[in-house]
C-alpha cells in the first residue's frame, strides 16, 4: 500500500482514497469486534495495529435480515454483515487543515434491526464537497444491541453510538474536523438514538448541534422493552440470560427475532426492539428529558415527512388489510378523539381507513412529540428549528413517505437507491435546497428559516 492519503489515529495509521477533492477513510474501527468475551458487553477499546491499515473499503454491517416484500423492493438491504461491525466511515475535503471544519456524525435508521453505514444512501461525498467532515457509524442491532438480559447491560447499541461519538471527539482532527463543532444526527431509529444521546449528560457535552429526522422519542421500561427478548428466548428454548444468548450464533438470533417480530403492529403495540430506561445511558425517555430541559444548550433541528406511514402501507396496497377495528384500537390506545382524525383526513381527502390509521401512528409517535419538544425548548430560549418534508413521490403511491427526504438531504438524486424512492423526475432544486439547509445548520445553526420561537410551525420543504 503506497498510494492514497494517510491519517493517523490513536490505534495506528490509516490509508484511504482520494477522488475529486474528497478523501475517504472507510471501515475505521472505533471499538473492538463484539465477539467472544465482548459479545453482549459494553464496547471495548480497539487493539492497536502495526503498519498502515487499509481503509479503502466498507466494513461489514451488524447481523440483520433483509427487508421483505414490497418494502424490500424500495429500501436496500445490507449485502454483507459480520463480526467486525463497529466502525465508522469518514469523508472529508482534501487538504483540510487539522481541526478546522465542522463535523456531522450520522446514525442510520432501520427500526433498530436493519441498516448500515455502507448503504449508498449515506454516502457523505456531498457534505465533504461543501466543507463538512462527514462520519457515518455502525452500531449493534436487534438482539445483539437491544436485548434485555438478566446479566448484561441494557442499550448496547446506544453504548456503541456513545463510543463512536467519543472516538469522533478524540480523533476527528486528524481528518480535518473540529472536535468542538460536532453535530450528531440520525433518521428514524437513528434519530431516536440521537435524541437519547443528546439527552445523556456526557454525550450532550460532546456535541454542538443535533438533527433528529423522523425519530421516535420514546423509551420503555425494561420489562416492556424486554418483551421481544423473552419471545426470542421462548422461540429458541433458552433463558433470557447473557450466557444463553451468547451461545446462539448471530444467524440463529436474527432468524428468531424475525419470527418474534412477524406479528408486530405499531397500532397494537409491538413486539419490537426499543430503548430501555436504565438509569445510566437512558435515565428517562428522550421525549421527557428534552421537554424538561436536557440539551437546551444545543441547537436542534427536528422534523418529519408529512406522510411517514405511506412507506409501510402504500407499496403493495398493505393499507387494505387495515380496517375500522384496528383504527378504533389505535385511537383508544393513543387517546385520540374524532377531531384529530378529521384533521388527519383533511390532509388527504379520500384516504382509506388503513391510511388514516397509519397517519394516526405518524401523528402520535413522530409529529406531535417533535412539536411539543420544540414548544418546550422555545419557551426556555433554546434554539430549535422544525421542518416537514412534503414532496410527494409518484413511486408506488409513496407520497411524502418515511425516508423520502434522505436522497434530498444527501443530494443523491439519480443513484439507484434514490430512484427506487423518488423515480427519475425528482426536483434537483429541492435536493440542493434541502441539502444546503443541513449544511448551513451544521456550520452555524441556521437552516435558513425562522426558529420555532420566531414562527411556531414547521417549515415545509417542497418543490417550488
Q: Which residues are catalytic?
A: 188, 308, 402
Cell of 177: 474536523
List Cα–Cα distances, 68 to 37, 72, 114, 309, in angstroms.
33, 4, 12, 17
CB-based contacts of 202: which residues, under 8 Å, 6+ apart?
Answer: 162
Q: Which long-range contacts (CB under 8 A, 24 or more apart) does 251-258 make?
A: 251/63, 253/63, 253/142, 253/143, 253/144, 254/63, 254/64, 254/65, 254/142, 254/143, 255/65, 256/143, 256/232, 257/113, 257/142, 257/143, 257/228, 257/232, 258/65
Contact 390, 461 (CB under 8 A): yes
Nearest to 188 by CA among 428, 24, 431, 389: 389
State the CB neighbour count (10 A cutoff) for residue 292: 12
Q: Among all chains, which residue has been given the C-alpha cell 421483505? A: 68
Residue 282 C-alpha cell reads as: 437512558
Residues 6+ positions from 358 with CB-CB distance below 8 Å = 308, 309, 310, 312, 313, 319, 322
Q: What are phi and psi of 137, to 5 degrees?
A: -120, 140
Let me know if 129 is exposed, middle or buried by CB neighbors in 10 A (0-12, 13-18, 19+): middle
- 234 Cβ neighbours under 8 A, 6+ residues apart: none
What gap in Å lies between CA 270 and CA 137, rounded to an integer?
Answer: 27
End-to-end alpha carbon distance in the chain: 49
Q: How far is CA 76 from the centre of its chain?
A: 15
Strand order in the sheet with 12-15: 6-9, 12-15, 52-54
Which grid coordinates belong to 419? 430512484
Q: For 243-276, give one letter per residue: b (16+ CB within 10 A) or e.
A: ebbbebebeebbbbbbebbeeeebbeebbbbbbb
Q: Are 163 and 86 in contact (CB under 8 A)?
A: yes
Q: How far apart are CA 418 and CA 407, in angstroms?
A: 6
Amino acid at each position: 500500500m503506497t498510494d492514497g492519503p494517510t491519517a493517523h489515529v490513536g490505534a495506528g495509521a490509516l490509508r484511504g482514497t482520494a477522488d475529486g477533492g474528497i478523501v475517504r477513510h472507510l471501515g475505521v474501527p472505533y471499538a473492538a469486534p463484539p465477539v467472544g468475551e465482548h459479545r453482549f458487553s459494553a464496547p471495548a477499546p480497539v487493539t492497536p495495529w502495526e503498519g498502515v491499515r487499509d481503509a479503502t473499503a466498507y466494513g461489514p454491517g451488524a447481523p440483520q435480515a433483509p427487508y421483505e416484500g414490497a418494502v424490500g423492493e424500495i429500501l436496500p438491504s445490507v449485502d454483507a454483515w459480520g463480526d467486525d461491525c463497529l466502525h465508522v466511515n469518514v469523508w472529508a475535503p482534501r487538504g483540510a487543515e487539522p481541526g478546522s471544519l465542522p463535523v456531522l456524525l450520522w446514525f442510520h435508521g432501520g427500526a433498530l434491526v436493519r441498516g448500515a453505514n455502507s448503504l449508498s444512501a449515506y454516502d457523505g461525498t456531498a457534505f465533504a464537497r461543501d466543507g463538512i467532515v462527514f462520519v457515518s457509524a455502525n452500531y449493534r442491532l436487534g438482539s445483539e444491541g437491544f436485548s434485555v438480559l438478566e446479566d448484561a447491560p441494557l442499550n448496547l447499541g446506544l453504548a456503541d453510538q456513545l463510543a463512536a461519538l467519543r472516538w469522533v471527539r478524540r480523533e476527528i482532527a486528524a481528518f480535518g474536523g473540529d472536535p468542538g463543532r460536532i453535530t450528531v444526527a440520525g433518521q428514524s431509529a437513528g434519530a431516536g438514538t440521537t435524541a437519547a444521546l443528546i439527552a445523556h449528560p456526557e454525550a450532550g457535552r460532546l456535541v454542538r448541534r443535533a438533527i433528529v429526522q423522523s425519530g421516535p422519542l420514546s423509551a420503555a421500561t425494561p420489562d416492556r422493552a424486554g418483551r421481544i427478548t423473552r419471545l426470542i428466548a421462548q422461540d429458541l428454548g433458552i433463558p433470557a440470560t447473557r450466557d444463553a444468548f451468547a451461545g446462539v450464533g448471530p444467524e440463529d438470533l436474527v432468524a428468531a427475532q424475525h419470527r418474534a417480530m412477524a406479528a408486530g403492529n405499531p397500532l397494537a403495540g409491538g413486539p419490537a426492539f426499543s430503548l430501555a430506561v436504565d438509569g445510566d445511558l437512558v435515565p428517562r425517555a428522550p421525549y421527557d428529558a428534552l421537554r424538561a430541559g436536557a440539551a437546551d444548550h444545543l441547537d436542534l433541528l427536528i422534523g418529519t415527512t408529512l406522510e411517514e406511514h405511506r412507506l409501510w402501507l402504500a407499496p403493495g396496497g398493505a393499507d387494505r388489510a387495515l380496517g375500522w377495528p384496528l383504527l378504533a384500537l389505535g385511537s383508544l390506545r393513543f387517546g385520540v378523539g374524532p377531531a384529530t382524525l378529521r384533521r388527519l383526513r383533511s390532509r388527504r381527502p379520500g384516504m382509506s381507513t388503513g391510511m388514516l390509521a397509519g397517519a394516526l401512528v405518524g401523528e402520535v409517535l413522530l409529529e406531535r412529540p417533535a412539536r411539543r419538544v420544540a414548544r418546550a425548548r422555545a419557551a426556555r430560549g433554546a434554539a430549535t428549528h422544525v421542518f416537514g418534508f412534503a414532496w410527494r413521490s409518484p413511486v408506488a403511491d409513496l407520497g411524502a413517505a418515511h425516508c423520502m427526504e434522505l436522497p434530498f438531504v444527501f443530494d443523491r438524486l439519480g443513484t439507484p437507491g434514490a430512484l427506487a424512492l423518488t423515480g427519475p423526475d425528482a426536483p434537483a432544486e429541492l435536493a440542493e435546497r434541502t441539502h444546503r439547509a443541513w449544511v448551513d445548520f451544521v456550520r452555524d445553526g441556521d437552516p435558513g428559516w425562522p426558529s420555532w420561537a420566531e414562527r411556531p410551525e414547521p417549515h415545509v420543504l417542497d418543490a417550488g
